[in-house]
A and B are shown apart, each in its own frame.
Chain A
Amino acid sequence: MNISKKLILIVILTVTVASVTIFSAFEIAKGAKFHQLNFLHLKYINQLTKSFESIRQGAPINTNTIKKDILVIRQQPIECLLQANVLNKFIMNIINTSQALTICKKDIMIANTALESISQYENSEITRNEFITGLEHAIYNFNKNSNEFEQPINKTVTFILITLIPLVLIISMLNIIIISYLSRTISSSIRNLTILLSSKSKDNANLDDDLESNTTDELKALIIAAKQRIKKDLLNLEFSKELQAIVKTQTASLQQANDELAQFAYRASHDLKSPLSGAKSLAQFIIQDIKTGDTDEAINNAKKIHQQMEKLEKLVIDILALAKADIGSEDVTKIDFDQLIVDMTERLDWLIKDNNCTFEATMRLSKTITSEKARFAQIIENLVSNGLKYHDKNKASSYVKCDIFDRGNELIIIVSDNGLGIPKQYQSQVFDMFKRFHVDTSSGSGIGMALVKKHIEYFDGEISLESSTAGTTFKVTLPMDKIV
């Protein structure tokens, strides 16, 4: 039986008990009413007797008073009959007390006969004496009936009392027992469910099975609805949290991109402007030098202009490369790493020779790589040129090594040198734009490593460095599937 049926049963039982109790109370009250009516009856009979006594002693007969008295006497048996319902009559039949009702009927008849004799007397159909005898007879009968009425009524009332009160008690007891049983089953199924739900979460399938076998229909429905609701809410919560997180990171990265851009614009314009303003002044000095005939100084200054222009050219090329690094190119080819290294070595030849370094490259690739060649060329060339530029003059021999190989699903490029190293405190800034830590050692625009980083990020790869005064090693790891 499910909970709502149990609850309906409880309501029905309660209503029944209440109505039986109320009914019994009414029935018991009715017994009292019968007694009361009989008491009234006797009082009115008494009243009539008094009038009758005075008439017998010779007083004139006031028919109206007598008639009134008899009418009120007749009223109680009438009411009595009205009060007795089918059930009362039935009970009275069984316990043999129905004579009480017969007595009532008799009383009414007596009253009617008396009333008739009054009108006969008024019409002078009977004599005063005949009237008095009739009345005396009526009074006698009234009294007799009234006495006889008490006994069956007492019996009936007692019967009602001894049957209804235990009946009410028994029904109430039963009711209490049934209701407490039902409520216990309801609370125990709720308790079971609570225990089941608050028990240490085992795996979900298990819990579902337990729920299936241990809960009634409605609780099961409740649990299912709650489960769905919670799932939905959790989903919503997760979703909105995710959204917030996305917005936050997006905002942060936008802010960072914006800051970077502002920084870049400032530094780039500054670095582009400075060789130009230098050259402008130098050109003026050359004019003066020629005017004063100082050709040596003029030649020096012209050389300086040339250097400035070379610096500017490199900077412009670097900035362009940096700008392009963010954009994907269609220019995807099979990369011949051997050729790439040969071309690069040619370009860096002067650096290798100037700095008295050895450069060595090894390649172990199990498959051909098809990708944007320019990015690979720039990554490798910047790492190698840094190794050469920041070599350590105080070491007996300087070297730069480059290893390119694949492992699993990764392409790895390792460039190591025994150069000056990067001081610990600057290592986190190596990839920042325009940051340079060995200004005296070599010139540069400070863009190389930022460019390398950009390319690696483009491929979703990683770059790490290890550096000490013994030298520096950069390790680039690129996921194969992102390269193409």
Chain B
Amino acid sequence: MNTIKPPILIIDDDEVDRYVLKRLIKETQLPLNIFEKKDGQEALDFLQNYEENKKEDPDGFPPVLIFLDINMPRVNGIQFLEEFAKLREIIEVDSCVVMMFSSSAREEEKEKIMTYDFVKDYLVKGSFKADELKEKLLSIIDFSLYEN
């Protein structure tokens, strides 16, 4: 039996929002290894600790997909994208893409988000169902790589 699941990361300060997303992911019945971080800073710390995390979990790190909220304390979604863009030049997270996950965004924020080519999609909280999510996940993650 295959134990290696594609790792994904949810960055959101709202516990309920994280629960809702996790539950929808569960409904898609796609095998995913979910990490959760409560704001941009925590997530950056987690990603910056690349070497150690990789050693500990060679197959489950780094995440292939990040669900990113915008409004968060300390480091918000936009600030995270800035830092993450820099981080991508140092560590091997090329295969990692971002899917925005927020209830609303301002125009200027949307413009900023669009400048990053590793941001693949924009999900509006509470406006999608499990099957839509499944489609999006399948288009981003190549599950065949994990089946052996």
Chain A residues proximal to chain B, CB less than 8 Å: 266-267, 269-271, 273-278, 280-282, 285, 304, 307-308, 435-437, 439-440
Contact = CB atoms under 8 A, between A and B. Distances in A.
A281 B103 contact: no
Interface residues of B, number: 19
B5 interface: no
Given A273-B104, A274-B125, A436 B16 contact: no
Contacts of B74: 437, 439
B38 interface: yes
Chain B interface helix/strand/loop/mixed: loop
A278 B73 contact: no
Contacts of A437: 73-74
Given A266-B106, A439-B38, A282 B16 contact: yes
Interface string B118-132: 000000011100000
A439 B13 contact: yes
Contact of B71 (A270, A275, A308): A270
Contact of B23 (A277, A285, A439): A285
A270 B103 contact: yes
Given A274-B103, A436-B73, A437-B74, 7 more contacts: A267-B71, A277-B126, A278-B16, A278-B126, A280-B126, A281-B20, A439-B39
A439 B15 CA distance: 11
B125 A277 contact: yes
A278 B17 contact: yes
Nearest to B73: A439
25 contacts: A266-B104, A270-B71, A270-B103, A270-B104, A271-B71, A273-B103, A274-B17, A274-B125, A276-B126, A277-B103, A277-B126, A277-B127, A278-B16, A278-B17, A278-B20, A278-B126, A280-B126, A281-B126, A304-B16, A307-B16, A308-B16, A436-B73, A437-B73, A439-B13, A439-B39
A440 B13 CA distance: 9
B82 interface: no
A290 B42 CA distance: 35
Nearest to B17: A278
Contacts of B38: 439-440
A431 to B, nearest CB: 16
Nearest to A276: B126
Q: Which has the most chain A C-beta neighbours within 10 Å: B16, B24, B71, B103?
A: B16
Nearest to A307: B16
Interface in B7-43: 13-14, 16-17, 19-20, 23-24, 38-39
Interface in B27-81: 38-39, 71, 73-74
Interface of B: 13-14, 16-17, 19-20, 23-24, 38-39, 71, 73-74, 103-104, 106, 125-127
Nearest to A297: B23
A278 B19 CA distance: 9
B103 A282 contact: no
Contacts of A266: 104, 106
B103 to A, nearest CB: 5
Q: Which of B19, B38, B106 has the most CB of A within 10 A?
A: B19
Nearest to B15: A304
A300 B40 CA distance: 28
Contacts of A278: 14, 16-17, 20, 125-126
Closest 5 pairs between A and B when the two form their complex, measured CB to CB: A277-B126, A278-B16, A281-B20, A439-B73, A277-B125
Contacts of A267: 71
B126 to A, nearest CB: 3
Most chain B C-beta atoms within 10 Å of own C-beta, residue among A271, A274, A308: A274
Nearest to A280: B126
Nearest to B126: A277
A308 B19 CA distance: 13
Nearest to B21: A281
B46 to A, nearest CB: 15
A175 B140 CA distance: 112
Contacts of B71: 267, 270-271
A275 B126 CA distance: 10
Contacts of B16: 275, 278, 282, 304, 307-308
Contacts of B106: 266
A304 B15 CA distance: 10
Contacts of A269: 104
A273 B126 CA distance: 10
A277 B39 CA distance: 20
A440 B15 CA distance: 11
Contacts of B19: 304
Contacts of B103: 270, 273-274, 277
Nearest to B13: A439
Contacts of B126: 276-278, 280-281
A229 B70 CA distance: 63
A274 to B, nearest CB: 5
Nearest to A267: B71
A282 B39 contact: no
A270 B126 CA distance: 13
B107 to A, nearest CB: 10
Which of A275, A278, A280, A435 has its CB near the most chain B CB atoms (within 10 A)?
Answer: A278
A439 B14 CA distance: 10
A130 to B, nearest CB: 140
A435 B71 CA distance: 11
